[in-house]
Amino acid sequence: MTTRRRAAKKAAAPVIDPYLPGVGNFGYRVSRYELDLDYKVASNRLAGAATITAVTLAELTSFTLDLSGALTVSKVSVNGRRPAQFRTAEDKLHITLTDPLPAGAAMTIVVRYGGNPRPIRTVWGAVGFEELTEGALVAGQPNGASSWFPCDDHPAAKASFGIRVATESPYYALANGALTSRRARAGTTTWVYEQAEPTSTYLITLQIGVYQRHRMSKNGVEIAAVLPDRLRRAFDHDFARQPEMMELFTELFGPYPLSTGYTVVVTDDDLEIPLEAQGISIFGANHCTGSRSSERLIAHELAHQWFGNSVTAQRWRHIWLHEGFACYAEWLWSQHSGARSADELARHYHQKLAGSAQDLVLADPGPKDMFDDRLYKRGALTLHALRKQLGDSDFFALLRDWTTRYRHGTAVTDDFTGLAAHYCDRSLRPLWKAWLYTPELPPLDGWA
């Protein structure tokens, strides 16, 4: 085959999500990952075995998994047999089967791998597994999961997880879900976590540091903190109102979606922005200063447990369903806490957006702008305009219905607009056209 024909064939390869064209895989659906990891902090050395349970969606002779080129695969088996071939290239693990598997077949894939994990470079910066001064963290959004385990790294591909991680005993290791076992032996502690709820790979995290765990609250939902001792006093002040946030959000958005509670991690290093994971939020030491200056971010990350983590966008173009909703939760908390009302904040940010570039389409912002602050604020403004149209009772009933219907599932913008139609006796199409599909910023008033 000539180079030109090879290039044409590569260009014609199907794409799951045009925002991340090289990410995601065809031909199977994963139901569970079991990760058995050994991590050495000083040398940043990861040794892992991933057992992946899946079912084929079509007859398969070969398939791929997302996996960073920084990691080396030493052994692969599929249903207990060695494949005809496996190789890694372009951040993919390519597996060729000895015999085809029919559609609907069960598939158990075991991958043994290791190396020095590092972040994946993207247009949004470095994402994935990252060393800290004393430990490590995973910031998976949007495609960083493959920096530390082989996976189908797309938000629509949800699965349950079992995570076993062994590391040096001075370190605390936190992963998603319930801690089911913790065993220290010969200077190494092994931590075992179970994340039963279906979770997107980018929301699976690993946090390792010289931390202590503290229980904050068990008023309906257990809230815990994992952080260095030196930050405990500042944390107790800065994060003191989290239980009240939880109470407000469960009232407005519906029950907290996880059975295992909520954990906040504060790293000993500064972080540019906080990070969300399933059941976990991660903040830097710079967000924990004793000044309570990061409270809107604390509310934002908590709200993601409903909007983004439980109800997850099927494709990244629909990310306003994550960020617009979490941003609006900031405004709801502000009003509840006695600061500026949601309406005052809406008017403030509408004025700011009016002076910015008018080239962002909220329902399809493009990969470059999917984390642009304009998307966050315009998404929140869209919800405020909808609230004016529906009235408070129907608006919050809609949000609770949304988080219930799509709990631990995935959704697109049309799912939300279709559901909202049941809460209004007149057409919402003018509102959606103006706010979701037109670049120019609409007026804030006139939607009541």
Q: Give the contacts of 320 (CB within 8 A, at least 6 positions apart).
A: 362, 363, 365, 375, 378, 379, 382, 413, 436
Is residue 283 located within the same domain as residue 228? yes
Is residue 246 located within the same domain as residue 173? no
Q: Is 415 within the bounds of a domain?
A: yes
- pLDDT surpassing 70 at residue 1: no
CA distances from 394 to 338, 400, 420 (A): 24, 10, 9
- pLDDT surpassing 50 at residue 2: no
- pLDDT surpassing 90 at residue 407: yes
Is residue 298 located within the same domain as residue 321? no
CB-count burial class (<10 Å; 0-12, 13-18, 19+) for 246: buried
The pLDDT tens digits for 12-30 are 568 999 999 999 999 999 9
Residue 403 near residue 257, CB atoms below 8 Å: yes
Q: What is the CATH number of the domain that holds 185?
A: 2.60.40.1730
Res 300: pLDDT: 98
- pLDDT surpassing 90 at residue 446: no
Residue 217: which pLDDT band, with cuts at 50, 70 and 90? confident
The pLDDT tens digits for 154-175 are 999 999 999 999 999 999 999 9
Is residue 293 located within the same domain as residue 416? no
Last residue of a domain, one of 152, 171, 201: 201
Q: Is 441 within the bounds of a domain?
A: no
Number of domains in the chain: 3
Q: Is 291 within the bounds of a domain?
A: yes
Buried b (16+ CB within 10 A) or exposed e, 49-58: bbebebebee
Q: Is 206 within the bounds of a domain?
A: no
The pLDDT tens digits for 179-188 are 999 999 999 9
Res 13: pLDDT: 65
Q: What percent of the chain has pLDDT over 90?
A: 95
Angstrom distance (rounded) from CA 72 to CA 78: 18
The pLDDT tens digits for 108-122 are 999 999 999 999 999
Task: Work out the average pLDDT over 277-306.
Answer: 98
- pLDDT surpassing 70 at residue 221: yes
Is residue 90 located within the same domain as residue 190? yes
Q: Give the contacts of 129 (CB within 8 A, at least 6 positions apart).
A: 46, 117, 118, 119, 136, 137, 138, 144, 147, 148, 206
Q: Is 243 within the bounds of a domain?
A: yes
Q: What is the CATH number of the domain that holds 242?
A: 3.30.2010.30
Is residue 235 located within the same domain as residue 118? no
Q: Is 418 within the bounds of a domain?
A: yes
Q: Is 428 within the bounds of a domain?
A: yes
Is residue 245 located within the same domain as residue 285? yes
Is residue 333 located within the same domain as residue 277? no
Range of the domain at 415: 312-436
CA distances from 342 to 127, 304, 328, 339 (A): 32, 18, 8, 9
Find the largest Cα–Cα distance for the chain.
69
Is residue 324 located within the same domain as residue 295? no
* Mean pLDDT (the chain, rounded): 96
Res 5: pLDDT: 42
Last residue of a domain, one of 258, 287, 305: 305
Is residue 292 located within the same domain as residue 321? no
- pLDDT surpassing 70 at residue 145: yes
Residue 299: which pLDDT band, with cuts at 50, 70 and 90? very high
Residue 9: which pLDDT band, with cuts at 50, 70 and 90? very low
Q: Is 14 within the bounds of a domain?
A: no
Pick from 236, 246, 242, 237: which is nearest to 214 by CA? Answer: 236
Residue 7: which pLDDT band, with cuts at 50, 70 and 90? very low
Is residue 269 located within the same domain as residue 348? no
Last residue of a domain, one of 270, 305, 340: 305
Q: What is the CATH number of the domain that holds 369?
A: 1.10.390.10
Is residue 60 located within the same domain as residue 189? yes
